[in-house]
Amino acid sequence: MASYSGFLRKAPASRLKPFFDARNVDVPEDFDWESSGRGKAFVRAIDDLLGELPDRRQDELKAELDLLASIADAEGMIAAERICAGQGIDIEGLEGVQDVLLMLALSHPQIVDRVAAETSLMRRSGGKGWASFQLEDDGKPWALHDDAARDAFLRDVLEILNVASHRRNEADWFRSIRTNPITGEEAEITQATIYVEDRAESELAFGPSATLERHLVQKVVEVGLACNPQARIVEVAARGGKKVRDQCAASFAKHFTPQSAVPIQMPRRAVLLDTLRAAPDFTIEPADGISRVEVSSLDFFSTGGEFARFEKRGEDETIYQFLERRFGSMSPLRSGGWTIVAATLRIFLEPRDGKRARTLTVTLRTPNSTTVPNKTETDRQFVFGLLERWHLVAPPRKDLDLIEDVD
Q: What whole-number distance in Å separates Cα of residue 80 and Cα of residue 367?
A: 20
Q: According to the model, what pLDDT value does residue 35 have?
A: 64
Q: 238-250 pLDDT, tens per residue?
A: 988 889 999 999 9
Query: What's this model's pTM, rounded to 2 decimal places?
Result: 0.77
Q: Three-state DSSP class for 389?
A: helix
Of 113-127, 214-228, 242-256, 334-348, the one with minimum mean pLDDT is 214-228
DSSP state for residue 335 in the 8-state scheme: S
C-alpha distance from residue 68 to each of 113, 177, 267 (Å): 10, 21, 31
Q: Three-state DSSP class for 398?
A: coil
What is the largest distance, in Å, between two alpha-carbon atoms of the chain? Answer: 87
The percent of the chain in helix, strand and coil, each rounded to the nearest 5, is 40, 25, 35
Q: Are strands 169-179 and 264-266 parallel, antiparallel or unpaired?
A: unpaired
**Contacting residues for 6 by C-beta, under 8 A, at least 6 apart:** 69
User: At residue 400, does pLDDT exceed 60?
Assistant: no
Q: What whole-number distance in Å separates Cα of residue 119 and Cα of residue 77?
A: 9
**Closest alpha carbon to 374 in 235, 226, 266:** 266
- Encode 177-213: b = buried (16+ Cβ within 10 Å), e = exposed: ebeeeebeeeeebbbbbbbbbbeeeeeeeeeeeeeee
Q: What whole-number distance in Å separates Cα of residue 25 and Cα of residue 233?
A: 46
Q: 44-102 pLDDT, tens per residue?
A: 888 899 988 888 899 899 999 999 999 999 999 999 999 999 999 999 999 899 999 99
